[in-house]
Amino acid sequence: MNVMAKAEKKISSAFIYFFGSFGGILFGYDIGVMTGALPFLQADWHLENAASLVGWITSAVMFGAIFGGALAGQLSDKFGRRKMILMSAIVFMVFSVLSGVSPDMGEASAYYLIIVRMLLGLAVGAASALVPAYMSEMAPAKARGRLSGLNQTMIVSGMLLSYVVDFLLKDLPGEWAWRLMLGLAAVPALILFLGVLRLPESPRFLLRKGDEAQARKVLSYIRKNPAEIDQELASIKETAKEERQANQKTSWSTLFSGKYRYLVIAGVGVAAFQQFQGANAIFYYIPLIIQKATGQAASSNLMWPIVQGVILVVGSLVYMWIADKFNRRTLLMVGGAVMGLSFILPAVINWMMPNMNPMTIVVFLCIYVAFYSFTWAPLTWVLVGEIFPLAIRGRASGLASSFNWIGSWLVGLIFPIMTASMPQEAVFAIFGIICILGVLFVKTCVPETRGHTLEEIEEQGTNHGRVKASNPEN
């Protein structure tokens, strides 16, 4: 027993935080890998004129993720965060390999890949829910902001990794290129599985199961002194008691009562706008966007996703630097305004100058990605984590996540259909208008959360509800 304890004691906090957030790499890799695989897949399966099938193949992962996040959240409360992360890694490995070995059976092969990627999406959605939960329960309160930024950096690093892999494999025969791109997603899943085997369970879950001794041992790996451990154990117990009481008193209808409606609309609205603003149209389809703009083959434009990936990683680091220096609303409104203009201006310029250099749209897309990377991308989840009162936090966070995944799925699905029926400058202009609507939504419907306690934020919602009740015409 002593030998085992000594072996466990060697687990460093850096190891725990690295592999605790490594699920973000998987999440990001599968968001990005189809960007490079799709041009080769289209050519191999002759899908150039099958916009709806292309949309479904691309967006199937997000469709599965809608259910994977909700399912993983419930199962992790029963079996633990660690076990569910391990299970997600296994599912990810299996269905990544099955994607890469898709049989060539004509149109039926497309439906096979759609189903396999939906099942893969269960693991992607689970990772998106489990990783932040595990990290927030392991991290000390003073480091949660930075570690939230670490999760975002892991996600965009996974996207960049997938773009680099796509670029390195682009000169293989077309059939082998896309199969290896998709199948190699099993490698980071295997690394995650092996790393998480050594990770401890979260102390919060252990306490919920009545294992205080093990919870104390886990906290000893990542906290400096016994007094800090005792204080955190007492805090976890008190929070768990409050959550049990809150869950007994609330239902889904509670979310839309006068007291909470304002905050629920704000949090869920921001989560939905993040996706409906069209970011994933760029991340999934940038080679095809450049092909349509310039006439160059999409398979020869795989350097551009790497450019986008580098911008995303740098932006995530910029966010970690400025996160606590500016108000959430200010960053969201400035970012949304620049993002909207980046989508609208190419359409205006093209209307005024029909001979516009086709690469102009790519420059504006890079500006969009830059501002998205340090505003809406990370801040959506920071705000969602702060804005919901304890009594409704579980249900409201789940609702926000569902709307976010629904938006991601719909954008991935309809973008190729829209660009097949109208100029892509017009399509981006539509997304630009949605960005501007998002700015107006933040200005009118979202409270400031930086520097406010959860109690103060809840009071804003309560006061807003009272104002609405006394002025129903407003």
Cβ–Cβ under 8 Å, residues 318 and 370: no
In this prediction, residue 431 carries a pLDDT of 96
In this prediction, residue 247 carries a pLDDT of 62
Instruction: Spell out the residues 6+ positions from residue 363 whose beta carbon is closer than 8 angstroms to its own.
Output: none
Residues of the chain with CATH 1.20.1250.20: 13-199, 250-474
- Residue in the structure block whose two tokens are 């879950």: 205
Q: Which residue ranges in the chain fall short of pLDDT 70?
A: 1-10, 140-149, 242-251, 298, 390, 394, 452-455, 458, 461-474
CATH superfamily, region 13-199: MFS general substrate transporter like domains (1.20.1250.20)
Interatomic CA distance for residues 98 and 123, integer angstroms: 14
In this prediction, residue 454 carries a pLDDT of 61
Question: In whole angstroms, how far apart are CA 380 and each of 8, 46, 107, 272, 461?
Answer: 36, 38, 38, 9, 18
In this prediction, residue 148 carries a pLDDT of 64
Q: Report helix, strand or coil for 46.
A: coil
Domain 250-474 has CATH 3.20.20.80: no
295's enclosing H/E stretch is: none
Interatomic CA distance for residues 462 and 285, integer angstroms: 43
Structure tokens at 371: 């501002």
In this prediction, residue 261 carries a pLDDT of 86
Q: pLDDT by residue (tens digit) across 338-360?
A: 999 999 999 898 888 877 787 88
Question: In whole angstroms, how far apart are CA 275 and each of 115, 278, 297, 377, 395?
Answer: 23, 6, 28, 9, 20
In this prediction, residue 186 carries a pLDDT of 94
In this prediction, residue 164 carries a pLDDT of 94
Interatomic CA distance for residues 30 and 92, integer angstroms: 10
Q: pLDDT by residue (tens digit) across 380-432?
A: 888 887 788 767 776 788 788 888 889 999 999 999 999 989 988 899 999 99
